[in-house]
Chains A and B, each alone.
Chain A
Amino acid sequence: MAESYDRESEPTTRTLLRRVLDTADTRTPRRRRSARVSAQKALLETPSSRRLSSPTKMNVRQRSHRARSISRLAHVHTSGNLEEQTPRTLLKNILLTAPESSIMMPESVVKPVPTPQVVQSSRRESSRGSLELQLPELEPPTTLALGLLAPGRRKQRLRLSVFQQGMDQGLPLSQEPRGNASASSLTSSLNLTFATPLQPQSVQRPGLARRPPTRRAVDVGAFLQDLRDTSLALASPGNTVLEDTQPFSQPLVGRSPSVYHSLPCTEAEDAERAVSHRTQSSGPRLQNHNPRKPAQLLAAKAKKVDALAVSFPNNSSAISGEDGVEPLQDGVGEEAEERMEEGLSVSKVMDTTGTQGSVRTEKSKGYREMTEAVEAKEPEGSSGDEDISGRTASPELASSTTEFLQARRPQFLEPAPPPSTAVLSSEPLEPLSTRLPPRARTPGPRPRQDPHKTGLSHYVKLFSFYSKMPMEKAALEMVEKCLDKYFQHLCDDLEVFAAHAGRKTVRPEDLELLMRRQGLVNDQVSLHVLVERHLPLEYRQLLIPCAFSGNSVFPAQ
């Protein structure tokens, strides 16, 4: 008895915790009320009750009766050995015994903090007198409890959503007690310290707080510049080779200038325009790092070019490619010492041209980089495993389309000779710049508007997805162009086949003929086999006649 009184007069951590435990309802969270009651009784009858002073005992009983309807507590297993326990174990007990009731909801389900439940349960009573039953100076343990809550029970966390729902609903009656709680001193009750964290503005439970989404301030300058770039790109429709890379570089605008493959590419393309316009941090540095960046870019590009070259075996008009490469290599020796680049032979080639380009205007350099990408593709043409490339390869090879290759070769021959001559010349700036404007006109107007090409961009994205290496924007542009030509070619063929059979509509027979010419369908592999192999069931049903019930065959033969 005296002991207990002493305890109350000198509230140490241990005594406080003990008090909390004593006053707490000893109920498991999931037990029914009957169980709760029995648990209560069991607690009261535990041998530890010998330590309880009569007033506390009465308090327990009173509060338990009051709190019965709302609180649920875990069973205290260790209530018997309070004497031997450390503050840590006491806190653990608190955690276990804390009732899961929300201060907000009258029928409480849960709330994240177990310890204060002891107090919160009492809050059910609108009377503030119940608060006084709680321990006075309980801040340290509460903070401790807070720390322990993190490793605390999972099930409490799981119910958080419910709690938050409750918070959202914002029950009006909770306002008053909450307001009261905040009004009263923090140390007046356990409740208070834990009530406030439940509110979103709380600082004590930052994990629960609903923070407003952090938004970066929009860099207006960069945004405007990107707009300008986009409009530039759209305005110069014919110059797809030179400048039309903006649609792909937009996502990279916000990236920090790290040593990232696609970023150097973006920078190079931006470098095509006036250098000063880049408001990113890389912008001001671009001037200084001009010689270095294109080299970096090209070093990175070299690897991409390999990937790209793999996918373009058709463009291996090796003759033109070799012509382009040889004069480039002449410049390698001069510039190689200035550069400390990786030892890729292709990258060296690219680097030298890149360094030479850095001397010139950005535009011309960018132009050459594009054409170099084109040229490097050609000598490195090898059989690719890419789906699309395979498709483009097989129709070229299987069908008699050498003429087609010849038709495409002049396209690549055009860019090839000018840069090679430009590289050789000592004053590359002038000839290239003079040649540049006419070259801008020669590709001709863009054959289709953008909305028509949206379908192709989808394929291009697939292409970049399946490629094993990151792709440059210029490469993707090339891919798009080639896909465009390929599909045009395909549809022309289909049209001609249909006309050949005296029809005006294209039918599956025309497609089968086309696939035969491509070599995909032959005597060993029929069209149906391919359909079965590659198409999902829905399409297969449409294509392969199948018998259904009632002697009906779909599709009808």
Chain B
Amino acid sequence: MYNNVGAQPGVPRPPAISQPNPFGDTFYGAGSGLIRGGLGAYGEKILGSSSEYVQSNISRYFSDPQYYFQVNDQYVRNKLKVVLFPFLHRGHWTRITEPVGGRLSYKPPIYDINAPDLYIPFMAFGTYVVLAGFSLGLQGKFSPEALNWLFIKGLLGWFLQVSLLKLTLLSLGSGEAPLLDIVAYGGYCFTGLCVAILGRILFGYSYYFLMPWTCLCMGIFLVKTMKRVLFAEVRSYDSSRHHYLLLFIALAQFPLFTWLGITSVNWFI
């Protein structure tokens, strides 16, 4: 009955599914669509130069995001095991490369357990926000504004983690690792954090055991990963500086996790 009426475009209706819109196209298919369609268009407007220039710059900083979402259930399970119990990982930590179109590129996460992905960090971040909100509610201090505040705090923590890793890389003279790789490595910390907060919700005192444990595990994971990344990227091999920086990365996890684990609406209390 409503089919006839639905055909009238004079009626104020939301746009039909078949209409192309820039944001719809960018997320279809590979992530290069995002760069070409969305960012390329805006880059042209903003910079006024040719979109080729903007596109190449953005591609340098923002490698194809779709690569990081090629995951499946099995990868997610195994990667969680690697992140939460890195000392149990028997295999090597290097990423598998394959020649693609004349250049060497890394295999996508489905085929390589050591490849970083962005699905786990995003879901872990969301879980952190939800669990932190839950623990706030158990203390009786829940409000939607508090949840927004926790979201911002989590984002800030993620940003601090990423800048820590990036600065370490830069201080050794190489900043060539793709930004999204570093973002992914930084986001893995939220998995351990979620486990610790879940422990605190279920048994109050288990938090004091789980928190240092997950800090340690995250430290080991980051050290092992960054060692491989540094070996792959850095030209001059200065052993002692490498080791001090890796140790610093591992030790910096403790204050970061402690700060993120304080689920309250104030900065430090």
A and B co-occur in one complex: no
- B residues near A (Cβ < 8 Å) are none
